[in-house]
Structure 1
Amino acid sequence: MQEVIMLPSMPGVKSCVFVNRLVAYHETFAPLGNQHKKKSTKQVMSILWHEGISGRSAANVTSAFIKAISMMAEDAKDIVIWCDNCAAQNKNWTLYTSIARFMNSSADFVPQTVTLKFLETGHTFMSADSFHGQVETNMRRKKNVFNFHDFMTVPVIQTCGGSPKTVEMQPQDFTEWDKRVSGGKTVKVPLLK
């Protein structure tokens, strides 16, 4: 996930705006490898939303993962996602149990397998990091990004490695996923195997 993006983003915004700014979120699913040196058939997927729609809790980030997985399942039945070691976003019970629930659901596009792999601590450079840098560079070039619609039209988000795959999350895309993990020995909940 890219660092929080504050909108509007324009030169001198702190000298002229004294109200709360809109917080935008950008979850990126990028293929492995250097996308600049080789032409990849896989494309970057940008999942975008703002705080007016939902926040950045584990359940909200999980909803973005579920949206991405269901879209990836249209093309592939076995999905591998490389995650960084962020415990709050990628290593939590909410994410694990919700993916299990999604896999057992009767949704239109459900993959056969979803594998989450984690990079070693200290070695967390990912393709998404490079993509986030491009987004920030193009936001600076555009200079004035007044609202969420302007943010979605930042050139790199629209091209996403040559083929647009930008998804704007809608309120109905978010689910209050619960983590379904036992806090004590007396609570009976299903165990993950």
Structure 2
Amino acid sequence: MISHFTDNYQNPDAIELLLFCCSCAGQNKNWTMFRYICHRVHIKKRFTKVMLTFPIRGHIYLECDKYTGIVNQQFRAEVPSDWVQYFEKAQRTPPSFYGDPL
């Protein structure tokens, strides 16, 4: 996902990448993530500097984290557009995912 964003949406002249990550070891603090970043800096020469920010444990209050409880983990998405439709219909009480009543 990071490659897709930096290759398609980020300014191609940008030489620094700033990432704000949660402190979950299974998601961001793993060797795969660090190897990927090293690859983008040293092999692909896409960035000259990458800065990873990890907040103090227990102090992550991102807006997107408030909505994780409304996502059905059993939902079967076959293509990305399935997720778009799912999130458009997702609901929390009383407003929907986007804050508008359905």
TM-score w.r.t. structure 1 length? Answer: 0.34
The CA RMSD measured in Å over matched residues stands at 3.3
Q: Does 1:78 align with 2:16?
A: yes
Matches within 5 A, 1:150-169: 150-153=82-85, 154-155=87-88
Amino acid at match of 1:83: C
Shift of 1:74: 2.9
CA distance in structure 1 between the aligned counterparts of 2:83 and 2:14, rounded to whole angstroms: 29
The runs of 4+ residues in structure 1 deviating greater than 6 Å are none
Q: Which structure's residues are more often strand, by fraction?
A: 1
Shift of 1:101: 1.2
The residue number in structure 2 matching 1:29 is none
Shift of 1:75: 6.4
CA distance in structure 1 between the aligned counterparts of 2:25 and 2:77, rounded to whole angstroms: 32
Q: Which runs of 5+ in 1 are unaligned?
A: 1-63, 140-144, 157-193
TM-score w.r.t. structure 2 length? Answer: 0.58
In the superposition, relative to structure 1, how do residues 120 and 74 fare at CA in structure 2: closer, same or farther (>3 Å)?
same
In the superposition, relative to structure 1, how do residues 150 and 98 fare at CA in structure 2: closer, same or farther (>3 Å)?
closer
- RCO higher in structure (CA 8 A, sep ≥6): 1
Deviations 1:144-182 (A, max 9, x none): x875433233449xxxxxxxxxxxxxxxxxxxxxxxxxx
Aligned length: 83
Amino acid at match of 1:129: D
The residue number in structure 1 matching 2:28 is 90
In the superposition, relative to structure 1, how do residues 79 and 155 fare at CA in structure 2: closer, same or farther (>3 Å)?
same
Task: Please point out which of 53, 58, 68 is paired with 1:122.
Answer: 58
The structure having more radius of gyration, on CA atoms, is: 1
Matches within 5 A, 1:33-182: 64-71=1-8, 72-74=10-12, 76-106=14-44, 110-130=46-66, 133=67, 136=70, 148=79, 149-153=81-85, 154-155=87-88
Deviations 1:106-163 (A, max 9, x none): 47xx233211110110101124325xx29x48x9xxxxx875433233449xxxxxxx
